[in-house]
């Protein structure tokens, strides 16, 4: 969406907030939760068709999974916002060459999975279902996929999970919401109404949902990689994991942006898996 259109929507929702704050919050959250990209094209489907595909149902959500079988431990790859399982193609090939069993999934509202809306907490439940089904040993999560992975393990720790890799992961709901509210130009009424919406829907205010804080309770070893030039999720988010969880292994990079698609990154992941 262009900036003028974004600001126009923001003004409209701001206006509604003076009369119907709950409805304004619902509109803001729905807009925030509706991916506009991330479905698969023909080329991407062709590659993913080389995997064993299986549908997993969680609360009427169809989660498409892709599995390439190996002779070693099982790694689950979890993509982020407006993406899909194909984003892992290069890493999948590397992990296959190392004989790992590789599993990837499409998030709700993305790839070949069902639904139109997406949120981190529902995603975390889907990740848990897939990780349990495939008896996963390591989860690699990019962006919000990393945050959802931490939420998933915090709520229901799977004993099989030994390691977690976070790539450019947002640290908490508060800052994510602030960035969204700033982008849209929402007023304080909308911001407050959104926080109350989260409280009603998920029994906690946004401040509660902190991946670095949740990480303290996990038994799995954690590697966090964040780029200093990340324009989507600030580098300071990565530093929060390092600060709040002394056991985390933190690697700061420069020049790979938010995507972190590079052989240097993949080598860091391979080293962590082999350690």
Q: What is the pLDDT of residue 133?
A: 97
DSSP-assigned beta bridge partners for residue 57: 62
Cα angle at 216 between 225 and 106, to 5 degrees?
A: 55
- Residue 6: pLDDT over 90: no
Dump pLDDT digits (tens) for 139-184: 999 999 999 999 999 999 999 999 999 999 999 999 999 999 999 9
**Do residues 113 and 64 make contact, with C-beta atoms less than 8 angstroms apart?**
yes
- Residue 17: pLDDT over 80: yes
Torsion, Cα 146 83 43 54, to 10 degrees, reads 60
Strands 61-68 and 74-78: unpaired
β strands within 91-185, DSSP E: 101-105, 138-142, 163-167
Domains defined for the chain, CATH in brackets: 33-172+210-274 (3.40.50.1820)
Q: What is the pLDDT of residue 248?
A: 87
- Residue 3: pLDDT over 80: no
Dump pLDDT digits (tens) for 88-134: 999 999 999 999 999 999 999 999 999 999 999 999 999 999 999 99
Task: Give the number of other Cβ atoms within 10 Å of residue 199's Cβ.
Answer: 13
Residue 186 structure tokens:
């929402």
Average pLDDT over residues 4-31: 94
Smallest CA-to-CA distance from 191 within 212, 205, 210, 201 is with 205
Cα–Cα distance for residue pair 15/49, rounded to 1 Å: 48
Please give the full DSSP string across 79-100, using - where no structure is assigned.
--TT--GGGGHHHHHHHHHTT-
Rg of the chain over CA atoms, in angstroms? 19
Residue 267 structure tokens:
């080598």
Q: What is the pTM of this model?
A: 0.96
- Residue 14: pLDDT over 90: yes
Residue 127 structure tokens:
């990740």
Cα–Cα distance for residue pair 163/60, rounded to 1 Å: 29
Smallest CA-to-CA distance from 120 within 162, 85, 154, 160 is with 154
């Amino acid at each position: 969406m262009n900036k003028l259109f974004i600001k126009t929507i923001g003004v409209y929702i701001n206006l509604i907030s003076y009369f119907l704050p709950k409805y304004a919050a619902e509109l803001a959250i729905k807009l925030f939760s509706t991916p506009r990209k991330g479905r698969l094209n023909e080329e991407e489907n062709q590659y993913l068709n080389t995997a064993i595909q299986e549908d997993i149902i969680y609360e009427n959500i169809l989660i498409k999974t892709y599995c390439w079988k190996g002779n070693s431990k099982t790694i689950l790859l979890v993509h982020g916002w407006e993406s899909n399982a194909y984003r892992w193609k290069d890493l999948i090939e590397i992990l296959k060459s190392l004989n790992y069993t590789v599993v990837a999934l499409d998030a709700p509202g993305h790839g070949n999975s069902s639904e139109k809306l997406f949120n981190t907490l529902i995603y975390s439940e889907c990740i848990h279902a897939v990780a349990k089904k495939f008896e996963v040993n390591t989860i690699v999560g990019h962006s919000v996929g990393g945050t959802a992975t931490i939420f998933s393990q915090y709520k229901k720790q799977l004993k099989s999970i030994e390691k977690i890799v976070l790539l450019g992961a947002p640290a908490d709901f508060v800052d994510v919401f602030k960035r969204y509210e700033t982008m849209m130009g929402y007023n304080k009424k909308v911001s407050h109404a959104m926080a109350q919406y989260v409280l009603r829907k998920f029994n906690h205010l946004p401040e509660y949902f902190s991946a670095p804080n949740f990480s303290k309770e996990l038994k799995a070893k954690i590697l966090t990689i964040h780029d200093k030039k990340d324009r989507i999720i600030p580098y300071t988010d990565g530093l929060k994991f390092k600060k709040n969880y002394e056991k985390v292994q933190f690697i700061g990079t420069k020049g790979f942006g938010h995507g972190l698609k590079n052989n240097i990154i993949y080598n860091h992941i391979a080293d962590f898996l082999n350690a």
